[in-house]
Protein backbone atom coordinates (compact mmCIF):
# COMPACT_ATOMS: atom_id res chain seq x y z
CA UNK A 1 0.00 0.00 0.00
CA UNK A 2 1.36 3.37 -0.90
CA UNK A 3 1.42 6.23 1.53
CA UNK A 4 -1.42 7.94 -0.35
CA UNK A 5 -3.57 4.84 -0.08
CA UNK A 6 -2.91 4.63 3.65
CA UNK A 7 -3.98 8.23 4.12
CA UNK A 8 -7.12 7.55 2.16
CA UNK A 9 -7.94 4.57 4.30
CA UNK A 10 -7.44 6.58 7.47
CA UNK A 11 -9.82 9.18 6.19
CA UNK A 12 -12.46 6.61 5.40
CA UNK A 13 -12.20 5.25 8.99
CA UNK A 14 -12.73 8.71 10.42
CA UNK A 15 -15.67 9.33 8.16
CA UNK A 16 -17.42 6.31 9.58
CA UNK A 17 -17.05 7.46 13.17
CA UNK A 18 -19.85 9.35 14.90
CA UNK A 19 -19.05 12.19 17.30
CA UNK A 20 -18.93 11.02 20.94
CA UNK A 21 -22.39 11.09 22.46
CA UNK A 22 -22.87 12.91 25.75
CA UNK A 23 -26.23 11.27 26.23
CA UNK A 24 -24.78 8.18 27.95
CA UNK A 25 -22.89 10.27 30.53
CA UNK A 26 -25.95 12.36 31.33
CA UNK A 27 -28.27 9.38 31.61
CA UNK A 28 -25.77 7.54 33.79
CA UNK A 29 -25.40 10.54 36.10
CA UNK A 30 -29.14 11.01 36.56
CA UNK A 31 -29.83 7.32 36.98
CA UNK A 32 -27.28 6.92 39.77
CA UNK A 33 -28.35 10.18 41.40
CA UNK A 34 -31.97 9.00 41.45
CA UNK A 35 -30.98 5.71 43.08
CA UNK A 36 -28.90 7.50 45.71
CA UNK A 37 -31.73 9.92 46.48
CA UNK A 38 -34.21 7.05 46.71
CA UNK A 39 -32.29 5.64 49.67
CA UNK A 40 -32.33 8.98 51.45
CA UNK A 41 -36.01 9.44 50.63
CA UNK A 42 -36.80 6.03 52.08
CA UNK A 43 -35.25 6.95 55.43
CA UNK A 44 -37.09 10.28 55.50
CA UNK A 45 -40.40 8.62 54.62
CA UNK A 46 -40.04 5.98 57.33
CA UNK A 47 -39.32 8.66 59.92
CA UNK A 48 -42.23 10.76 58.72
CA UNK A 49 -44.61 7.78 58.73
CA UNK A 50 -43.61 6.85 62.26
CA UNK A 51 -44.07 10.43 63.44
CA UNK A 52 -47.48 10.68 61.75
CA UNK A 53 -48.64 7.37 63.21
CA UNK A 54 -47.73 8.50 66.70
CA UNK A 55 -48.76 12.16 66.56
CA UNK A 56 -51.68 11.75 68.99
CA UNK A 57 -49.52 9.94 71.54
CA UNK A 58 -46.82 12.57 71.20
CA UNK A 59 -49.42 15.29 71.84
CA UNK A 60 -50.90 13.50 74.82
CA UNK A 61 -47.77 12.33 76.65
CA UNK A 62 -45.17 14.73 75.34
CA UNK A 63 -41.69 14.33 76.76
CA UNK A 64 -42.95 12.24 79.70
CA UNK A 65 -43.32 9.30 77.28
CA UNK A 66 -39.54 8.96 77.38
CA UNK A 67 -39.10 9.24 81.14
CA UNK A 68 -42.06 7.46 82.73
CA UNK A 69 -42.35 3.74 83.41
CA UNK A 70 -46.07 3.03 83.40
CA UNK A 71 -47.20 0.81 80.54
CA UNK A 72 -50.92 0.33 81.09
CA UNK A 73 -52.95 -0.24 77.89
CA UNK A 74 -56.23 -0.46 79.84
CA UNK A 75 -55.80 2.96 81.46
CA UNK A 76 -54.15 4.22 78.27
CA UNK A 77 -51.08 5.36 80.21
CA UNK A 78 -47.87 4.83 78.29
CA UNK A 79 -44.25 5.43 79.23
CA UNK A 80 -41.35 3.94 77.29
CA UNK A 81 -38.55 4.16 79.85
CA UNK A 82 -38.40 0.42 80.71
CA UNK A 83 -38.09 -0.43 77.03
CA UNK A 84 -35.42 2.19 76.40
CA UNK A 85 -33.58 0.90 79.45
CA UNK A 86 -33.98 -2.71 78.31
CA UNK A 87 -32.70 -1.97 74.82
CA UNK A 88 -29.72 -0.05 76.16
CA UNK A 89 -28.75 -2.61 78.79
CA UNK A 90 -29.23 -5.70 76.62
CA UNK A 91 -27.21 -4.08 73.82
CA UNK A 92 -24.47 -3.11 76.26
CA UNK A 93 -24.25 -6.67 77.60
CA UNK A 94 -24.14 -7.94 74.03
CA UNK A 95 -21.29 -5.59 73.14
CA UNK A 96 -19.33 -6.50 76.29
CA UNK A 97 -19.48 -10.15 75.29
CA UNK A 98 -19.31 -9.89 71.50
CA UNK A 99 -16.59 -7.26 71.01
CA UNK A 100 -13.69 -9.08 72.69
CA UNK A 101 -14.81 -12.36 71.17
CA UNK A 102 -15.14 -10.97 67.66
CA UNK A 103 -11.95 -8.93 67.61
CA UNK A 104 -9.94 -11.78 69.08
CA UNK A 105 -11.36 -14.10 66.43
CA UNK A 106 -10.55 -11.61 63.68
CA UNK A 107 -6.98 -11.15 64.99
CA UNK A 108 -6.51 -14.90 65.17
CA UNK A 109 -7.80 -15.34 61.64
CA UNK A 110 -5.69 -12.61 60.05
CA UNK A 111 -2.50 -12.73 62.11
CA UNK A 112 -2.02 -16.15 63.63
CA UNK A 113 -4.13 -18.94 62.19
CA UNK A 114 -2.45 -21.41 59.86
CA UNK A 115 -3.87 -21.10 56.36
CA UNK A 116 -5.71 -24.44 56.37
CA UNK A 117 -7.75 -23.52 59.42
CA UNK A 118 -8.76 -20.01 58.29
CA UNK A 119 -11.40 -20.82 55.71
CA UNK A 120 -13.32 -23.34 57.85
CA UNK A 121 -13.54 -20.85 60.73
CA UNK A 122 -14.55 -17.99 58.44
CA UNK A 123 -17.29 -20.14 56.89
CA UNK A 124 -18.58 -21.24 60.29
CA UNK A 125 -18.74 -17.69 61.61
CA UNK A 126 -20.62 -16.62 58.50
CA UNK A 127 -23.00 -19.55 58.88
CA UNK A 128 -23.84 -18.29 62.34
CA UNK A 129 -25.19 -15.13 60.68
CA UNK A 130 -27.36 -17.23 58.40
CA UNK A 131 -29.30 -18.91 61.23
CA UNK A 132 -32.83 -17.45 61.26
CA UNK A 133 -33.45 -15.36 64.32
CA UNK A 134 -36.47 -17.40 65.41
CA UNK A 135 -34.44 -20.63 65.35
CA UNK A 136 -31.83 -19.00 67.54
CA UNK A 137 -34.67 -17.94 69.86
CA UNK A 138 -35.94 -21.52 70.09
CA UNK A 139 -32.44 -22.71 70.88
CA UNK A 140 -32.31 -19.93 73.47
CA UNK A 141 -35.50 -21.12 75.18
CA UNK A 142 -34.85 -24.84 75.13
CA UNK A 143 -31.08 -25.11 75.39
CA UNK A 144 -29.40 -21.89 76.45
CA UNK A 145 -31.76 -20.76 79.21
CA UNK A 146 -31.94 -24.11 81.05
CA UNK A 147 -28.16 -24.34 80.89
CA UNK A 148 -27.65 -20.74 82.03
CA UNK A 149 -30.12 -21.30 84.88
CA UNK A 150 -28.35 -24.43 86.08
CA UNK A 151 -24.68 -23.48 85.78
CA UNK A 152 -23.40 -19.99 84.92
CA UNK A 153 -26.13 -17.97 86.68
CA UNK A 154 -25.78 -19.69 90.09
CA UNK A 155 -22.01 -19.42 89.69
CA UNK A 156 -22.24 -15.68 88.99
CA UNK A 157 -24.58 -15.27 91.93
CA UNK A 158 -22.20 -17.10 94.24
CA UNK A 159 -19.11 -15.05 93.41
CA UNK A 160 -20.67 -11.71 92.41
CA UNK A 161 -23.88 -11.89 94.44
CA UNK A 162 -22.70 -9.00 96.63
CA UNK A 163 -23.11 -6.60 93.69
CA UNK A 164 -26.64 -5.35 92.88
CA UNK A 165 -26.51 -6.67 89.33
CA UNK A 166 -26.31 -10.37 90.18
CA UNK A 167 -28.86 -10.64 92.98
CA UNK A 168 -32.39 -11.98 93.38
CA UNK A 169 -34.09 -15.15 92.22
CA UNK A 170 -32.97 -16.81 89.00
CA UNK A 171 -35.91 -17.43 86.65
CA UNK A 172 -34.06 -18.07 83.44
CA UNK A 173 -35.60 -15.60 80.98
CA UNK A 174 -33.76 -12.42 81.89
CA UNK A 175 -31.96 -9.32 80.75
CA UNK A 176 -28.68 -11.27 80.84
CA UNK A 177 -30.09 -14.06 78.66
CA UNK A 178 -31.33 -11.42 76.22
CA UNK A 179 -27.92 -9.78 76.09
CA UNK A 180 -26.21 -13.11 75.52
CA UNK A 181 -28.49 -14.05 72.63
CA UNK A 182 -27.90 -10.66 71.01
CA UNK A 183 -24.16 -11.21 71.43
CA UNK A 184 -24.45 -14.47 69.51
CA UNK A 185 -26.27 -12.61 66.77
CA UNK A 186 -23.81 -9.74 66.38
CA UNK A 187 -20.57 -11.75 66.61
CA UNK A 188 -20.59 -12.63 62.89
CA UNK A 189 -20.95 -9.07 61.65
CA UNK A 190 -18.33 -7.63 64.01
CA UNK A 191 -15.96 -10.49 63.22
CA UNK A 192 -16.20 -10.25 59.47
CA UNK A 193 -15.98 -6.47 59.34
CA UNK A 194 -13.01 -6.52 61.76
CA UNK A 195 -11.34 -9.17 59.66
CA UNK A 196 -11.64 -7.02 56.56
CA UNK A 197 -10.26 -4.03 58.47
CA UNK A 198 -7.28 -6.01 59.76
CA UNK A 199 -6.61 -7.44 56.32
CA UNK A 200 -6.44 -3.91 54.95
CA UNK A 201 -3.50 -3.07 57.23
CA UNK A 202 -0.52 -2.94 54.84
CA UNK A 203 2.07 -5.70 55.28
CA UNK A 204 4.67 -2.95 55.25
CA UNK A 205 3.40 -1.91 58.69
CA UNK A 206 3.83 -5.43 60.04
CA UNK A 207 7.29 -5.69 58.48
CA UNK A 208 8.27 -2.39 60.10
CA UNK A 209 7.50 -3.84 63.52
CA UNK A 210 9.06 -7.24 62.82
CA UNK A 211 12.23 -5.52 61.61
CA UNK A 212 12.61 -3.92 65.05
CA UNK A 213 12.60 -7.31 66.72
CA UNK A 214 8.94 -7.34 67.72
CA UNK A 215 7.22 -10.58 68.65
CA UNK A 216 3.93 -11.55 67.05
CA UNK A 217 1.89 -10.06 69.86
CA UNK A 218 3.91 -6.83 69.74
CA UNK A 219 3.47 -6.61 65.98
CA UNK A 220 -0.27 -7.06 66.40
CA UNK A 221 -0.38 -4.40 69.09
CA UNK A 222 1.82 -1.64 67.65
CA UNK A 223 1.45 -2.18 63.92
CA UNK A 224 -1.93 -3.83 63.38
CA UNK A 225 -4.42 -2.93 66.11
CA UNK A 226 -3.39 0.70 66.46
CA UNK A 227 -3.42 1.17 62.69
CA UNK A 228 -6.84 -0.45 62.46
CA UNK A 229 -8.29 1.19 65.58
CA UNK A 230 -10.61 3.55 63.77
CA UNK A 231 -11.96 0.85 61.50
CA UNK A 232 -12.47 -1.55 64.40
CA UNK A 233 -14.48 1.11 66.20
CA UNK A 234 -16.64 1.33 63.10
CA UNK A 235 -17.14 -2.43 63.19
CA UNK A 236 -18.29 -2.23 66.81
CA UNK A 237 -20.78 0.52 65.97
CA UNK A 238 -22.15 -1.56 63.14
CA UNK A 239 -22.65 -4.35 65.67
CA UNK A 240 -24.33 -1.96 68.10
CA UNK A 241 -26.73 -0.85 65.36
CA UNK A 242 -27.72 -4.47 64.88
CA UNK A 243 -28.00 -5.10 68.61
CA UNK A 244 -30.40 -2.20 69.15
CA UNK A 245 -32.84 -3.47 66.57
CA UNK A 246 -32.55 -7.21 67.21
CA UNK A 247 -36.10 -8.47 67.79
CA UNK A 248 -37.24 -12.05 67.50
CA UNK A 249 -34.67 -14.03 69.44
CA UNK A 250 -34.53 -11.40 72.17
CA UNK A 251 -38.28 -11.37 72.55
CA UNK A 252 -38.14 -15.12 73.13
CA UNK A 253 -35.61 -15.06 75.97
CA UNK A 254 -35.70 -11.68 77.70
CA UNK A 255 -38.86 -12.30 79.72
CA UNK A 256 -40.94 -9.41 78.36
CA UNK A 257 -41.66 -7.57 81.60
CA UNK A 258 -41.63 -3.77 81.45
CA UNK A 259 -39.57 -3.06 84.54
CA UNK A 260 -36.32 -1.39 85.43
CA UNK A 261 -34.38 -3.67 87.70
CA UNK A 262 -30.73 -3.49 88.69
CA UNK A 263 -30.35 -7.26 88.68
CA UNK A 264 -29.56 -8.77 85.30
CA UNK A 265 -31.30 -11.98 86.44
CA UNK A 266 -34.65 -10.15 86.30
CA UNK A 267 -36.67 -10.16 83.09
CA UNK A 268 -36.70 -7.05 80.93
CA UNK A 269 -38.21 -5.78 77.72
CA UNK A 270 -36.82 -4.00 74.67
CA UNK A 271 -38.26 -1.45 72.27
CA UNK A 272 -38.22 -3.90 69.39
CA UNK A 273 -39.73 -6.72 71.48
CA UNK A 274 -42.69 -4.71 72.71
CA UNK A 275 -43.62 -3.75 69.16
CA UNK A 276 -43.38 -7.35 67.96
CA UNK A 277 -45.32 -8.70 70.94
CA UNK A 278 -48.13 -6.20 71.28
CA UNK A 279 -48.87 -4.99 67.77
CA UNK A 280 -51.65 -7.54 67.25
CA UNK A 281 -53.18 -6.73 70.64
CA UNK A 282 -53.26 -2.98 70.11
CA UNK A 283 -57.01 -2.57 69.97
CA UNK A 284 -57.34 1.09 70.86
CA UNK A 285 -56.03 3.98 68.80
CA UNK A 286 -53.91 5.33 71.61
CA UNK A 287 -52.30 1.90 72.20
CA UNK A 288 -51.34 1.71 68.52
CA UNK A 289 -50.11 5.29 68.64
CA UNK A 290 -47.91 4.47 71.64
CA UNK A 291 -46.39 1.50 69.80
CA UNK A 292 -45.70 3.73 66.80
CA UNK A 293 -43.97 6.14 69.12
CA UNK A 294 -41.85 3.29 70.47
CA UNK A 295 -40.90 2.63 66.87
CA UNK A 296 -40.03 6.28 66.40
CA UNK A 297 -37.83 6.20 69.51
CA UNK A 298 -36.00 3.10 68.30
CA UNK A 299 -35.57 4.69 64.87
CA UNK A 300 -34.23 7.86 66.46
CA UNK A 301 -31.86 6.04 68.83
CA UNK A 302 -30.39 3.98 66.00
CA UNK A 303 -29.81 7.02 63.83
CA UNK A 304 -28.39 8.94 66.77
CA UNK A 305 -25.92 6.15 67.57
CA UNK A 306 -24.70 6.18 64.00
CA UNK A 307 -24.37 9.96 63.95
CA UNK A 308 -22.41 10.03 67.21
CA UNK A 309 -20.18 7.25 65.89
CA UNK A 310 -19.41 9.20 62.75
CA UNK A 311 -18.68 12.33 64.75
CA UNK A 312 -16.34 10.36 67.02
CA UNK A 313 -14.59 8.86 64.03
CA UNK A 314 -14.01 12.32 62.59
CA UNK A 315 -12.57 13.53 65.87
CA UNK A 316 -10.20 10.60 66.04
CA UNK A 317 -9.29 11.06 62.38
CA UNK A 318 -8.12 14.58 63.09
CA UNK A 319 -5.24 13.09 65.08
CA UNK A 320 -3.36 10.57 63.02
CA UNK A 321 -4.84 9.37 59.79
CA UNK A 322 -4.03 5.75 59.05
CA UNK A 323 -4.98 6.31 55.44
CA UNK A 324 -2.08 8.69 54.93
CA UNK A 325 0.38 5.82 54.54
CA UNK A 326 -0.50 3.01 52.24
Partner 1 sequence: MLTQVMPQPQVVEDRDRAAIPPSDAEAESLPMAVQAKNVSMWYGAKRAVDNVTMDIPAKAVTAIIGPSGCGKSTFIRALNRMHELVPHTRVEGTVLLNGENLYSSDVDPAIVRRRVGMVFQKSNPFPTMSIGENVIVGLRLNGVRDRKFLNEHLEKSLRMAALWDEVKDDLHKSGTSLSGGQQQRLCIARALAVEPEVILMDEPCSALDPIATAKIEELIQDLKKHYTIVIVTHNMQQAGRVSDFTAFLYMGRLIEFGATTKIFTNPGQKQTEDYITGRFG
Binding site residues, partner 1, CB under 8 A: 115, 202-215, 218, 222-223, 226-227, 229, 319-322, 324-325
26 or 218: CB nearest partner 1 = 218
| Min dist. Cβ of residue 291 to partner 1 (A) | 46
Q: Any alpha helices (H) in the chain, and if so which ranges?
A: 3-16, 23-53, 55-61, 64-67, 81-107, 115-130, 133-139, 145-150, 152-160, 175-199, 203-210, 216-219, 226-245, 248-253, 271-278, 285-318
| Min dist. Cβ of residue 235 to partner 1 (A) | 17
Integer Cα distance of 222 and 242 in angstroms: 30
First to last CA, the chain: 52
CA dihedral 32, 33, 39, 42 (to 10 degrees): -130
32 or 321: CB nearest partner 1 = 321
180 or 209: CB nearest partner 1 = 209
93 or 224: CB nearest partner 1 = 224
| Min dist. Cβ of residue 121 to partner 1 (A) | 17
DSSP designation for 213: T
C-alpha angle 62-63-65 in degrees, rounded to nearest 5: 80
| Min dist. Cβ of residue 273 to partner 1 (A) | 40
| Min dist. Cβ of residue 142 to partner 1 (A) | 44
10 or 207: CB nearest partner 1 = 207
Amino acid sequence: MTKAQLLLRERSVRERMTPPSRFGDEAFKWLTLTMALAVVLLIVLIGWQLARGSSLAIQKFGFSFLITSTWDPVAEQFGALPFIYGTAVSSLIALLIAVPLSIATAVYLTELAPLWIRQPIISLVEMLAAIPSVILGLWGIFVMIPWLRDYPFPFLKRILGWTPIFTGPIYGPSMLAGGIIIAVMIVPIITSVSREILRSVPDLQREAAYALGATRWEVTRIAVLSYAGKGLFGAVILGLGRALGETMAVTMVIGNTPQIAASLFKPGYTLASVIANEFTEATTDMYLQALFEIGLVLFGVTILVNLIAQLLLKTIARGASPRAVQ
